[in-house]
Amino acid sequence: MNLAGPLQAVVEEFSKFPGVGAKSARRLALFLLRQPHEQIDSLVESLIGLKTKIKFCKICFNIGESDICDICSSDRRDKSIICVVEDINDVIGIERSHEYNGTYHVLGGVLSPLNGVGPESLKVKELLQRLNGEVKEVILALNPDTEGEATSLYLNRLIKPLDVSVSRIARGLPIGGNIEFADDATIGRAVTGRGLF
Amino acid sequence: MNLAGPLQAVVEEFSKFPGVGAKSARRLALFLLRQPHEQIDSLVESLIGLKTKIKFCKICFNIGESDICDICSSDRRDKSIICVVEDINDVIGIERSHEYNGTYHVLGGVLSPLNGVGPESLKVKELLQRLNGEVKEVILALNPDTEGEATSLYLNRLIKPLDVSVSRIARGLPIGGNIEFADDATIGRAVTGRGLF
Give the count of Cβ contacts less than 8 A between chain A and B. 141
Instruction: State how far the Cα of A131 lies from the Cα of A119, in Å rounded to an integer.
Output: 17
Least Cα distance to B168 among B140, B142, B195 occurs for B140
Instruction: State whether residue B136 is helix, strand or coil.
Output: coil
Q: Which of A13, A77, A121 to mutate to test the interface with B (most CBs of B within 10 A)?
A: A13
The predicted-structure confidence for A123-173, as pLDDT tens digits, reads as follows 999 999 999 889 999 999 999 889 999 999 999 999 999 989 999 898 888
User: Measured between CB atoms, which of A4, A24, A50 is closest to B65?
Assistant: A4
Q: The complex's ipTM?
A: 0.73
Q: Do B50 and A17 make contact, defined as CB atoms within 8 angstroms?
A: no
CA of A152 vs chain B CAs: smallest distance (Å): 23
Set of chain B residues whose Cβ sits within 8 Å of the Cβ of A52: 6
Q: Which residues of A touch B48 (CB under 8 A)?
A: 40, 44
* Chain B, nearest residue to A23 by Cα: B89
User: In this structure, what are the phi and psi dihedrals at residue A19, rounded to the nearest 5 degrees?
Assistant: 75, 10
Give the sign of the dihedral formed by CA B93, CA B95, CA B98, CA B103. positive
Q: Do B40 and A50 touch (CB under 8 A)?
A: yes
Domain boundaries defined on chain B: 5-53, 76-176
Kindly give the confidence (pLDDT) of every residue in chain A, 197 residues in length, as a single tens digit, with 9 standing for 90 and above.
456 788 889 999 999 998 899 889 988 998 898 888 899 999 999 999 988 888 899 999 999 888 999 999 999 999 999 999 999 889 988 988 888 999 999 999 999 988 899 999 999 999 999 998 899 999 999 998 899 999 999 999 999 999 899 998 988 888 888 888 888 888 888 888 887 77
Q: What is the pLDDT along chain B (197 residues), one digit of tens a residue?
A: 456 788 889 999 999 998 899 889 988 998 898 888 899 999 999 999 988 888 899 999 999 888 999 999 999 999 999 999 999 889 988 998 888 999 999 999 999 988 899 999 999 999 999 998 899 999 999 998 899 999 999 999 999 999 899 998 988 888 888 888 888 888 888 888 887 77
Start-to-end CA span in chain A (Å) = 67
Q: Please provide the distance, in angstroms rounded to a whole number, between the alpha carbons at the two ends of chain B.
A: 67
Per CATH, the homologous superfamily of domain A5-53 is RecR Domain 1 (1.10.8.420)
Q: Give CA–CA dist B86/A19, Å, rounded.
A: 27
Q: Where are the alpha helices (DSSP H) in chain B?
A: 5-15, 22-34, 37-53, 88-96, 124-130, 146-159, 184-192
Contact A89/B27, CB-based, under 8 Å? yes
The answer to whether the CB atoms of A65 and B5 lie below 8 A apart is: yes
Question: What is the CATH code of the structural domain delimited by B76-176?
Answer: 3.40.1360.10
B82 in Cβ contact with B59 (< 8 Å): no
Query: What pTM, to 2 d.p., does this model score?
Result: 0.71
Neighbours of A22 (CB within 10 A): 11
Identify the CA nearest to B141 among candidates B167, B173, B102.
B167
Residues A45, A126: Cα–Cα separation, whole Å: 33
Contact B47 A31 (CB under 8 A): no
In whole angstroms, give the CA distance from residue B75 to residue B54.
22
Q: Do A88 and B33 touch (CB under 8 A)?
A: yes
Residues 6+ apart with CB under 8 A from A27: B18, B19, B89
